[in-house]
Each structure stands twice: as C-alpha cells, then as structure tokens.
Chain A
C-alpha cells in the first residue's frame, strides 16, 4: 500500500459526556451526534459537500431517527446524494464506524468519510411486554362492537408492565448475564480485590479532573436544552472523589459476595464523538494536516461471560496486522467499562491466559500505568455506548500529538464477547 492511499484522521471532536438523567437528558442522540459532526467539519475546514459517506455507531437506535447516521448527515448539510448508514457492535459501535469508514476508503469506495458514534442512554425507552403488542393489534383490528368487547375482555393490567430497554440491553442475549456480572466473573478469575478496583476508580477520576483543561481541546460546548447555559466539560469526573466513599458503596451486581460497585463501574452516560477520515493524498490535496494514520485494526471473539477481556484478545491480532510489537506502543486507551475488567486485562496482557476451559492467550507484555488512560477513562467520564469507541480514538490522537508520540493503541471490550483494537501512528 502506498502512503497516499493510507487512511488518516484529520479532525475530530466530541460533546461533553454527561451522566444519563442529567443536563443532556432532553437532547436526543441525533442532536448530540449532529453537534459533534458539525463541529468536526467546521474545525477541519472540510466542506460538507466534499464528504462522500457518513457512518455512525449507535445502539439505542431511536425509532424517530431510524438510520441515525443518515439524519445526522442531512442535518449537518451533507448533500442528500451521499449515502449514510448506522452500525452496531455494542460497545465498539463508535470504533466499528471508524473501521467501516476505513474499509470504504481502502477499497476505493470513498475518499472522505465522516465517522463517529452517538448515544442518549437517557432516552432509551421503557417498553411494554410483547403481549401488549398483540393485544393492541387485536384491538385495532376490531371493527364491530362484539369484537371490541371481546378484545376488552382480554385486557389485563399486567399487559402494561414496563421493562427498561436499557437494563435489558445491558444483559447479554446469549449468556443471560448482565455486563456487571461479567466483571464479577473476571474479578474472580484473576483474583482482583475490591480495594484494587476502588483504587483504580479513584485514579481514573483524579486523572480526568487533572485533564479537564486539556480535554477542552477536543470538546465542543453544547448549550443546555433551555439555551440558558453552556455545558463545556465532562460532568462525570468528581473533584471530591474519596477512597473512603468508594469503599462504603455496596456491590451492585452480586449483593452477597461481589466486588463490583457503581463507584468502580462506568456510569450510564449521554454523549457523541465524531472524526473525519480520508485518504492521505486527499488530505494533502486539501491542505489538511492529519492527526494520525490508522495503521491496522482487529476484532476478536471470546466467551460472552468473559467479554471484559476483549482488549487482550484483540490487541495481538491488531499488532500482528500492523507489523508491530507491544513494546512499540507508546500510549494506550483501554475502555474502562469496570475497574475489575481493566485490571483483569492488565493481568492477561502480562501473563496470558491458560486456564482450563477458557480461550487461551499468549502473554503480550506488561502495561505501563503511566501510558494507560492518562487523561482518565470511562469510570470517570462515562460510557455512552455508541460513542465511546470514537472518543477513545480522538483522545488517543490528541494526547499523542501533545506528547509527540508515534504509536498508539485504542482498544475496547465488547458486550456479547468481543474485543476491538486499533493501531494508530503519527509521522
């Protein structure tokens, strides 16, 4: 592959990340995505008319914006004749958007692609049971009075029992356990203690608070719903985070003997992120300075119950494709779904996995905490599922530029039992 056809990221930005039920609760995923996308284009100096395609990640898939990427594309002024589609790979949807965009570029189907992810977990609806659907169908088909009376007679109050689509969505459809429980699985597998998890969570908050000023560079301020104030920073990181308080919290996913709490897990969050990708020679033509080159990527699969180890399984594949070793990597962003999950990955990276009955893994190498999630991670910032993958890439590239580094890795665990890893290079 010649240098001109490489995939580069030329610009990106994201909204602040705000806990669900907070200041963003009235802003739709479309709106958040549109703000991030519009600002990415404005900052990049790329006219919306030059964009060939738009790909966005989103798991909530709001009914009023089916194919959310398309709605976002039209809102930000990309002409109607440019295609757009939405992707879903659970927690890596934002990364999937980026790798799908890269595929378009590498196969010559597009030169400039806007990619990203958006999520409003606040607006994920509450559902009626399926039986209510059926009853509604019968009611609407009833034409005569006897038919209507028959339908009425079949009505039961329990038909209206609500269930949270969010809670259902965060439960693995195959393994039947929720995400938090997978963290407990890993905590046990690797012997990760409660204290270790709380310490990690504490650290994540501290780093995020310290990085607040730096992170403003990648954030676009969003007006509150009433347009009376600006939301300029991530609202998750706590200045007053205290180990004692973390220690007092009760385990959430396994009340009796668990170690995973709300405090050492990532919070349910709203937010969006977008990046602009193109061929390197197109960037040169347009006079745009790349933030980094996407050298290689990989997705890997593992047992759904151990999904948290996704990064450990995906990273070696990505490194192999990039022709690099672990020690070549100078900066890492690894999504913090749960402190237990991150710590489990650190163990697995260093020592590999060779227990009976689980997928084996060769050791990759030790992870330096000083180059991992240096500006905090999802435990402090939050994890809007569709957007996180794009945020990791954006944050990684911005920090690589600040430190003038050459090789970085962004990686995620994926609910359902997958992992994603992207290798970036600068210069």
Chain B
C-alpha cells in the first residue's frame, strides 16, 4: 500500500490507498464546504493530476466537515457578480471542472454525508457513483431557484438523465431537499450505508468499478415505456407534454414574478432535447438570471434569515425549556401543543371545558399523521410524540412547566384572571407567555405580582405553517424572559422577531392598511375582484378581501377599532368590516363574507357588494394606482414602526412581513421595495395622495428625513 498525503491551501486533502485516491474536501476555517473560485481552481488542478497519475485507478470524493458535504456555491461570490458575462464565465468554469470528473477516464465515487446542496449536488451528479450515509443529516437538493437563479454547473443537464425529467423538474423548481432514503428511491444515491462505514464502502465501490472497467454517467430513466410516467420521461413527445405542463403551472402559480423558475424549465428542456449536452445554453440562461432584481432580492432575504439567527445574542442566556403548559385548547392551543410535542417538549394542555381538549387532540393527531406521511415517520414515532401531550381541566401538573403559553379568549379581564391564577400554580422561575394578537401585554403584566416574567409570544394562524412568531416585550419584561421566549420560538422551528408592545404590534399594524385602504377603495367604487387581483399581481398570496374573509370580519373590525383608538385618526377603519358584521357575513367561517363560499370554493357576490357601499361603481383605476395607495400606506406605517422602536431594524421588519403576511419574497421585503422605488419617490407619492385623497397619507417624519438626506432603509445596494 502506497501512502501519499497532500493538502492544498484551499481545502483539499488526498491520500492514495491501494491505488484508490481518497480526496477529502475541507475548507480551512469554514464551518461548511462551499464552492469558492479558489477552491474550484485547486480542485481542477487536482483532477488533472489524478487523471494522469499512474498509481491511481479510481477516486473517492468525501467531505472533511462533520455534517455537511458541500453546502453550495459561495453566496458572497454570487452577490459579487458584476455582469451577465461574469456570471456566464463562472458557470462555464464550473461546468468545465465538473466535466473533468465525468471524463476523468477513471471511476469517481462520491461519499456523501450531510447536506449536499446546489453546486455540491451538481458536483456529485458528475460522479460515476454516489454512496450516501443513511442518516437524517444527509440531504440533497438544488435550491438555486429560491435564490432567483438556476443550477449552472451542469445540474440541469445531468439531473434528468439520472432521475428522469419529471423528478428533475420537481426537484429544481421547488428547490426542496431530499432525505437520504427518498434520494435512494429516486436512484439519485446508488446505495445507503452506515455513516461509520461510508468512506470504506465508497472505496470498495471505486475499486469494483475500476476492476470492471464499466462506469458511465448517462443513465436512462428506468421506468417502463408502457407506463404513463415512463412514457412521459422517455419519449420526446412525453417530455414536451411534461415541459409544457410545467411551464403553464409555473406561470399560473407565480404570475411570471419568479423568472428563475421559467428559465430553469428552459434549461432542462434544452438538456433533454440535446441528450444532456446543452451546457452553453445553461450558462447563458444562468447569466440572464444572476443579476435580476428578483435574484438580488431573494439573496437579500436569505441573508435576512441568517441575520435573524443572531437575534437574542445580546440577551442573557435563555432558561432551558423542557416542558410547557398551554392554557386554552381548541385549534390554536392544539396547534401549539402539536408543535411543541413534535419537538419532544412535554405539553400540559388545559381548558375549562372537555370538548376543546378533544378538538386540540384531534388537531394534534391529524397534523402528526400528515407530517408522518410526508417524512416517513413510523406510527411508533407518532405515538411517542403524541404521548408528550396530557390534558387537564385544572392546574394540576403546572408546577412541572418551565413556560406557560396562554391562548384563551381575547379579553383583557379573562386573560388577567388566567395570568393571576397561573402565578399561583407555577414555579417561581416559570415564564409566562401570552398569545394575544391585539391586547396590551403591558396592561396584562400589571395584573401579576412579577410582571417581568411575562412576554407576548404571538403565533400566526395556522400555527404549524406560519413561520413567524412576534416576541412582544412590555415595559416590564425582563431580558431573561425575552431570551427564553426567543429560544423557545427557535426550538419550535419558528422565526422570532422581537417587537415592542404597542397596538397591533408589528405585523397586524402594517397589515391593517392592506385591508383598510382596499376597503376605502371599494367604498370609492372600485371592484372587489379587481382590487384583489391587483394585490395578488403585486405578489401578495391573498387579496385584501380574501384575507378579510379568512380572518373574519368580526376580528378585522375589532382590530381596526383597537388600532384606531391606539394610533389615531390615520387608522380610522373604513365602514366595510362593520357593515359585514352587521349583516352577519363574517367570512369563510359563516359561509359568506365579502365573497360567498360553497365548500372550499369562493364565489363573487355582486348583488350583495352593491349593498355594502353607498356610492355606485366607478371606473376602474389602474392596478399601479391601487398598489401605490395600499403599499404606500404600509411603507409609511412601517417607517413609523422603525421610528417608534417597535422593531429594532429594517431587516427584522422586512423578514417579519415576508413570514407574517407573505409579502412577496421576490421583492425582498417591504422596505427593500421602498428602497427600490426611491424614498423621495415614495414621499412625493404620499404627498400627492395626501392632497388628493386624505390626510391619512401624510408622510411620516422619518420618511421625510430619509428623502431629504438621500438615505435608504437598508443602506447601500
């Protein structure tokens, strides 16, 4: 056995054992491996050496990092791309390097443990065999579309050849990550082994391939031609059908607002039509996407989520939370209980009636079963996790809770009573959190002997899907309390944003003009569907009237009243919500609100619409005008929130709105959008609307200051 060890400066080690070269990818000083230009250059040089080395018959590529294989290309380098030409050159470079793997003339086996994403995924696609560890940390995926670009290192060419066109479309368009087992089922991984045996097994496979002399990358889909999926994957006609359907679906779902998805389809199409050789086209298409504002915005948003991980660093260490209690069962309580149980926290769920407890248990069970079906959790795991939830009609068991979340009815007197009762039922070090969406946490805390232990922990509905949690800090709340609530939100897989206690907190306050201004426009004669459509075209997931129906006109009405009382004249509610409540048209939950509902379907109700306003229909204003009125107000309110210290940074605010109300990610965030318009433009627009429509549009002082000083919310870019 000849042993030759070598290390390059950019992060490559290799040793030759028994004529098999074992290469370890290990970027110095980095937590994860990423494909920097420097590294790729050294990798290319290494491949050249290995290709001609006499004593090497095969190569194994492994990672030296604990739980990552290769996390992807370097985000800094992507952001630093100066021109389309620059992007194309980088893509061609990457393609060339990976082509050298494919054409090495010797078998190359990837030994994959941990996250293998984006460019890393493209690297292993170029290998002749992929062995992975059977471990939950092992995942493979191509999330480029989520950053507004497409795989540019040959991924769109090689992936359909290995897994078939349909699977390739699904993976690249959704950007989702596959766990090891699913990847193996798709034949993306050739086999799974125990983590500790991974490299040895890869070496053995490399030797086998070298001995047999038969190794190639091209692999037709194995599905039989006479099945529908096989026909669609393997015949030219089938593939065109699939591509057309994909194109149509993407258009419909994204309204052309995510060009990367359509471009990815183009690249995949070029690939299958050319037998996987359209590399130049792939590079060309990538170059078109790399500098689009959409891509820049999506990368920005990704950066914001990374920044958010540091929230709480300036706070004291959080207390350990192993067991929580939830007061108030039903759908919200059940959702929170299920979330906590799924993260293996003990949950004591209390209500004053036995029926809501059953509803909560059913909610939790159904959600667990759904999660099980998706992630292949065995029935035993579901039972184990559901066992974490116990129910009670009194406060027994509350002494075991490290934190209690109260989710009872939205009435101050009731919440205060519950909080007082809790204070005598829990330990001294137990944190109290309220899920209130509108009431003052400061006022609630006044009922407690120790007000510092209370914070707001505002989940959004439905709990299991909405990623945001507003952590609401009253004037009494201790930093340690905030730290613990923030840590718990993260443990539950949510994104916490720390928000000061004020009417509407952050998200509902900025959301209010979305629904309210649309209501005013309706009262001025604009059409309901035209308004909803205009907002959806902007990129919102739901139009304002659809949203009113979802949350309930009564809830919207109450929230409007609170905001008006708390924030003043500019928040005066339009009459629509009150009129809906009067007419008992509360929304989806009563079968009719603004729209009519039969089952799940939503239908217009033109006859009724006219009765909900005084003046008749007016000529339709263009969508841009409608959007300016609505989003202009939202920007104005957001600026006020920053000024009043409701939230610490523009980054937090943008992230909160993307996660809390679905503000379109491709715009990068509300304030990013404002920056893109130009603050002066925004201010001038608001001034014009103030003159033409009403004083509620008066630009706030912060916006004026920023316009005068030429500042932006996010500084730079």
Contact = CB atoms under 8 A, between A and B. Distances in A.
A75 B382 CA distance: 11
Residue in A31, A35, A42, A230 whose Cβ sees the most chain B Cβ within 10 Å: A42
Contact of A43 (B361, B387, B397): B397
A76 interface: yes
A230 B360 CA distance: 13
Interface in B389-411: 390, 392, 396-397, 399-400
B397 A227 contact: no
A76 B341 CA distance: 12
Which 9 residue pairs are nearest across A and B when measured between Cβ atoms?
A: A42-B397, A75-B387, A45-B399, A227-B362, A43-B396, A227-B361, A38-B390, A230-B354, A77-B346
Contacts of A227: 358, 361-362, 365
B348 interface: yes
B387 A223 contact: no
Contacts of B475: none
Interface in B441-474: none
11 contacts: A41-B397, A42-B348, A42-B392, A45-B400, A47-B323, A48-B346, A75-B387, A77-B323, A77-B346, A223-B358, A227-B358
Nearest to A65: B380
Nearest to B427: A45
A283 to B, nearest CB: 15
Contacts of A229: 358
Nearest to B345: A77
Contact of A42 (B358, B361, B390): B390
Contact of A34 (B346, B354, B358, B387): B387
Interface of A: 31, 34-35, 38-39, 41-43, 45, 47-49, 74-77, 221, 223, 227-230
B388 interface: yes
A406 B91 CA distance: 86
A227 B354 CA distance: 11
Contacts of B390: 35, 38-39, 42
B9 interface: no
A236 B348 CA distance: 29
B387 A38 contact: yes
Given A223-B361, A227-B358, A42 B387 contact: no
Nearest to A38: B390
Contacts of A77: 323, 346, 388
Given A38-B387, A42-B390, A75-B387, A228 B358 contact: yes
Given A48-B346, A74-B384, 18 more contacts: A35-B390, A38-B387, A41-B400, A42-B348, A42-B392, A42-B400, A43-B397, A47-B323, A49-B322, A75-B383, A75-B387, A76-B387, A77-B388, A221-B354, A227-B361, A227-B365, A229-B358, A230-B358
A42 B365 contact: no
B602 to A, nearest CB: 30
Contacts of A31: 383
Contacts of A41: 397, 400
A97 B41 CA distance: 69
A74 B348 CA distance: 17
Nearest to B364: A227
A278 B399 CA distance: 19
A157 to B, nearest CB: 33
Nearest to B346: A77
A43 B398 CA distance: 9
A259 B354 CA distance: 44
Contacts of A49: 322
A319 to B, nearest CB: 35
Contacts of A48: 346
A247 B323 CA distance: 54
A222 to B, nearest CB: 10
A221 to B, nearest CB: 7
A47 B400 CA distance: 6
Contacts of B384: 74-75
Contacts of A223: 358, 361
Interface in B346-365: 346, 348, 354, 358, 361-362, 365
Contacts of A45: 397, 399-400
A424 to B, nearest CB: 23
Contacts of B387: 34, 38, 75-76
A341 B279 CA distance: 88
B340 to A, nearest CB: 13
Contacts of B388: 77
Contacts of A74: 384
A339 B348 CA distance: 41
Nearest to A47: B400
Interface in B288-338: 322-323
B383 to A, nearest CB: 8
A26 B469 CA distance: 38
A37 to B, nearest CB: 10
Interface in B477-501: none
Nearest to A230: B354
Contacts of A230: 354, 358
Interface string B35-68: 0000000000000000000000000000000000
Contacts of A43: 396-397
A216 to B, nearest CB: 11
A229 to B, nearest CB: 7
Contacts of B392: 42
A41 B397 CA distance: 8
A77 B322 CA distance: 10
Contacts of B400: 41-42, 45, 47
Nearest to A229: B358
Nearest to B400: A47
A14 to B, nearest CB: 15
Contacts of A39: 390
A166 B399 CA distance: 42
A52 to B, nearest CB: 17
A391 to B, nearest CB: 20
A343 B583 CA distance: 71
A227 B383 CA distance: 14
Residue in A49, A75, A76, A227 whose Cβ sees the most chain B Cβ within 10 Å: A227
Nearest to A43: B396
A43 B390 CA distance: 11
Nearest to A11: B396
Contacts of A35: 390
Contacts of A76: 387
Nearest to B325: A42
Contacts of B323: 47, 77
Contacts of B396: 42-43
Contacts of A75: 383-384, 387
A230 B348 CA distance: 17
Contacts of B322: 49
A38 B349 CA distance: 13
B555 to A, nearest CB: 27
Residue in B346, B358, B387 whose Cβ sees the most chain A Cβ within 10 Å: B387
A43 B323 CA distance: 15
A60 B671 CA distance: 65
A47 B365 CA distance: 25
A248 to B, nearest CB: 38
A77 B392 CA distance: 18
A223 B359 CA distance: 11
B389 to A, nearest CB: 9
Contacts of B354: 221, 230
A41 B361 CA distance: 20
A129 to B, nearest CB: 30
Contacts of B361: 223, 227
B573 to A, nearest CB: 40
B384 to A, nearest CB: 6
A77 B402 CA distance: 15
A234 to B, nearest CB: 17
A231 B606 CA distance: 49
Nearest to A39: B390
Nearest to A287: B399
